[in-house]
Amino acid sequence: MTTAVAVDDRTEGAAGEELKNLYLETLTFVERLHRCLLDVIKDELDRIGCDEINSVQALLLFNIGDAELTAGELRTRGHYLGSNVSYNLKKLVDTGFIHHKRSEADRRSVRVSLTEKGHEIKELVDELYDRHMVSLKPVGEVTEEDLETVNTSLRRLERFWTDQIRYRL
């Protein structure tokens, strides 16, 4: 009986180690993919000669879109790795890419929306994504089904992490 338990422990240990390796690989991919996305956006900004903003700020503009949002709402909508949303919003106000105004409901809260200049960058990123859609399958060999599978897994991982925080697991 002790032998059976020891064999089961070794089997679970090997399976656990494989799961851990896959989990760590996924975490690495998530981080690298975000950095790659920022590099792709930076290349597009460089292509048009836009040096007023960086790729994180361009992604912020894209995520604001046609909405009027607070900094907190932006943080929950996007992934701004290693960035300070409030700092970037201030820079975007200073450079004329976004408007800001105090919320009428809560005077402590500031709401932001895009200026015409901000809309131009949002459209630039949107057009970049549209170009990607044309070549995603033939060049990247990424299908709609592939994206559905990845998105399902990432949603589950997000829910798992959220539960870890919420329920202190």
Q: What is the pLDDT of residues 57-102, one digit of tens each?
A: 999 999 999 999 887 788 777 756 556 888 899 999 999 999 998 8
Q: pLDDT at position 92, please?
A: 95
For residues 6-14, average pLDDT: 62
Q: pLDDT at position 109, please?
A: 79
The helices-and-strands tally (H runs, E runs) of the chain is: 6, 2
Distances (CA, A) of 162 to 23, 28, 144, 157: 16, 19, 26, 8
Q: pLDDT tier at 168 (50, 70, 90 boundaries)?
A: confident
- Are 104 and 125 a contacting pair, CB within 8 Å? no
Grouping H, G, I as helix, E, B as strand and the rest as coil, residue 140 is coil
- Are 112 and 64 a contacting pair, CB within 8 Å? yes
Strands 110-114 and 98-102: antiparallel
Domain ranges within the chain, ordered by starting residue: 11-142
Q: What is the pLDDT of residues 92-136, one digit of tens each?
A: 999 999 999 887 777 777 889 999 999 999 999 999 999 999 999
Q: pLDDT at position 79, please?
A: 58
Decide yes or no: CATH 1.10.10.10 for domain 11-142.
yes
Q: pLDDT at position 80, please?
A: 64
Q: pLDDT tier at 10 (50, 70, 90 boundaries)?
A: low
Q: pLDDT at position 83, please?
A: 62
